[in-house]
């Protein structure tokens, strides 16, 4: 495995702000790899400690902007804490969103990505990780924005998960043929406890949908929890964007790590 990534921030982000965090790969094994799936290989970025495993596994699910430098940085942050962290490219069959200048163009591609494909690719990524120094008994997942929604769905799909952390992922929506279910639909099917982290000022995820989701979790006696940062907008963890809120982001990161520890990841 090689060290530093040369991938930048997605072209649709303008401008990138000075708060962007840069985490070194020193002391890590970090590389772009190919993950075998049911219909060919997909790219992924992986980082893990340069030492004997097995290491607990964290699947890192991309934002709508793909596996760009911010997501890669998050992978390295987990690796420095002892995890094998891996972020697969989950849109690769539909197109490369990293160089698209407009969010509308990215959304058009993302709308063509089947949930079934994504869940299958995450299964394949997990299989790769657990056959390359990852501990199959200590598996977690976290995702941001688009990946936050996927995190909830994967927690209802994969019984090997011990815990999950979903950052401001959409909780409900109109079903489509490719995305037939929402987190609200699977609230009673979660196979691992999920911590949801949301912004109270998120214009795209209104608080009434968060409250409706909380009610659904309570109805089934779920161990999952949701924490809302009242003054935070959407994407408050994205340190390279104007939406970044340092206090909420740092608190959310610590809550995420404690959630994983609490549940054996």
Q: Going residue by residue through the chain, which has 265 residues, state the pLDDT in tens, using 9 for 90 and above.
A: 333 445 788 877 877 899 999 999 999 999 999 999 999 999 999 999 999 889 999 999 999 999 999 999 999 999 999 999 999 999 999 998 988 889 999 999 999 999 999 999 999 999 999 999 999 999 999 999 999 999 999 999 999 999 999 999 999 999 999 999 999 999 999 999 999 999 999 999 999 999 999 999 999 999 999 999 999 999 999 999 999 999 999 999 999 999 999 999 9
68 has catalytic annotation: no
Q: Can you tell me the distance from the alpha carbon of 151 to that of 148, in angstroms, rounded to the nearest whole number?
A: 5
Q: 127: Cβ–Cβ under 8 A, 6 or more apart, which residues? A: none
135 has catalytic annotation: no
Catalytic position from the list 145, 157, 239, 263: 145
Q: Is pTM beyond 0.75 here?
A: yes
Q: In this structure, what token pair is assigned to residue 202?
A: 């998120």
CATH assignment of 28-262, given 3.30.1490.20, 3.40.50.1820, 1.25.40.10, 1.10.10.10?
A: 3.40.50.1820
Catalytic position from the list 55, 68, 234, 263: 234
What residue segments make up the domains of the chain, in order of their start? 28-262
Catalytic position from the list 73, 115, 121, 202: 202
Alpha helices in the chain (DSSP H): 69-80, 103-110, 115-130, 146-155, 207-219, 246-262
123 has catalytic annotation: no
| pLDDT number for residue 14 | 72
């Amino acid at each position: 495995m090689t060290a530093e990534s040369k991938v930048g921030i997605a072209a649709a982000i303008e401008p990138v702000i000075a708060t962007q965090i840069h985490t070194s790969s020193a002391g890590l094994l970090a590389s772009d790899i190919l993950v075998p799936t049911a219909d060919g290989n997909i790219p992924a970025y992986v980082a893990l400690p340069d030492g004997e495993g097995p290491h607990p596994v964290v699947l890192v699910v991309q934002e709508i902007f793909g596996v760009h430098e911010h997501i890669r940085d998050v992978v390295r942050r987990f690796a420095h804490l002892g995890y094998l962290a891996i972020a697969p490219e989950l849109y690769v069959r539909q197109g490369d969103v990293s160089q698209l200048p407009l969010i509308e163009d990215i959304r058009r591609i993302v709308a063509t990505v089947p949930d079934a494909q994504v869940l299958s690719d995450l299964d394949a990524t997990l299989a790769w990780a657990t056959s390359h120094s990852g501990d199959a008994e200590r598996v977690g997942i976290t995702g941001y924005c688009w990946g936050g929604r996927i995190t909830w769905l994967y927690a209802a799909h994969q019984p090997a998960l011990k815990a999950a952390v979903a950052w401001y992922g959409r909780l409900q929506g109109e079903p489509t043929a490719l995305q037939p279910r929402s987190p609200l639909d699977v609230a009673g099917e979660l196979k691992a406890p999920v911590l949801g982290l949301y912004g109270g000022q998120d214009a795209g995820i209104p608080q009434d949908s968060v409250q409706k989701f909380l009610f659904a979790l309570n109805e089934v006696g779920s161990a999952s929890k949701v924490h809302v940062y009242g003054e935070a907008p959407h994407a408050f963890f994205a340190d390279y964007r104007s939406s970044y809120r340092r206090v909420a982001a740092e608190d959310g990161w610590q809550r995420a790590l404690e959630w994983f520890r609490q549940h054996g990841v």
